[in-house]
Each structure stands twice: as structure tokens, then as C-alpha cells.
């Protein structure tokens, strides 16, 4: 399957400034693993060392947060848009 992967500004330096990439794969996990393999600068920013989704990013398949789908096992279809966005959090504590 061919999908569009959209990247937030903080990750773009690691992919030569590209705002989005065309990626091939069957699942979200496969696509993200290919991403960090092709762009090692993203290692540890999208997936953790044990291969799970990093808690400081949210990943969407079209309009749905993949954590509420099948997480990294979520299947993709041709033309889907995958968006990675930073989890925006903090606070006084």
C-alpha cells in the first residue's frame, strides 16, 4: 500500500526538511519501522527501543488516533494519510 506520511516540523530536519513522504507498507508499524530505518535521525523519537510508539508523539490514520485502533498493527489502505504530531503537554507540577 502507498500512503502519505506527514511529519511535524520538529522531525523534518531528520528527513532533509520534507513535510511529507510517500511510504509503502501494510501496517502503521511497518511504515514507521521503515521510516526510522531509512532516516536513523528519527530513531528514539517515533518508536521506542522496544519498538512501541513513543509516548511523546501521536499518530493518526486519516482522522483516527492509532492508539484507539489497532495501534502499530493498524492496517492501512492505498491513499491513506498518516500524520505524526507531537503530544503537546506540560504544566506547573
Partner 1 sequence: MEKSTLTLRRSHLAEMSAHCLQSLPLEGCGLLVGDMSTGQVVRVIPTKNVAMSAKLYSVDPLAHLRADRAAEEEGLAIIGVFHSHTHTDPYPSPTDVVQAPDPSWHYVLVSLRGELPSTRSYRIVSGAVQEESIDLVP
**63: DSSP letter:** T
**47: DSSP letter:** B
What would the x/- binding string for partner 1 be over residues 31 to 70, using CB under 8 A? -------------------------x-x-x--x-x-----
Q: Contact with partner 1 (CB under 8 A): which of 8, 41, 51, 79?
A: 8
The minimum distance between CB 14 and partner 1, in angstroms, equals: 13
Stated as kind and residue range, the H or E segment containing 81 is: strand 81-86
Q: Which is nearer to partner 1, 7 or 32 (CB)?
A: 7
Stated as kind and residue range, the H or E segment containing 2 is: strand 2-6
Amino acid at each position: 500500500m502507498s500512503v502519505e506520511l506527514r511529519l511535524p516540523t520538529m522531525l523534518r530536519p531528520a528527513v532533509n526538511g520534507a513535510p511529507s513522504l510517500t511510504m509503502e507498507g501494510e501496517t502503521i508499524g511497518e511504515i514507521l519501522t521503515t521510516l526510522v530505518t531509512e532516516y536513523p535521525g528519527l530513531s528514539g523519537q517515533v518508536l521506542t527501543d522496544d519498538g512501541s510508539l513513543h509516548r511523546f508523539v501521536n499518530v493518526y490514520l486519516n482522522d483516527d488516533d492509532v492508539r484507539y485502533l489497532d495501534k502499530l498493527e493498524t492496517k492501512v489502505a492505498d491513499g491513506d494519510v498518516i500524520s505524526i504530531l507531537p503530544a503537546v503537554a506540560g504544566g506547573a507540577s
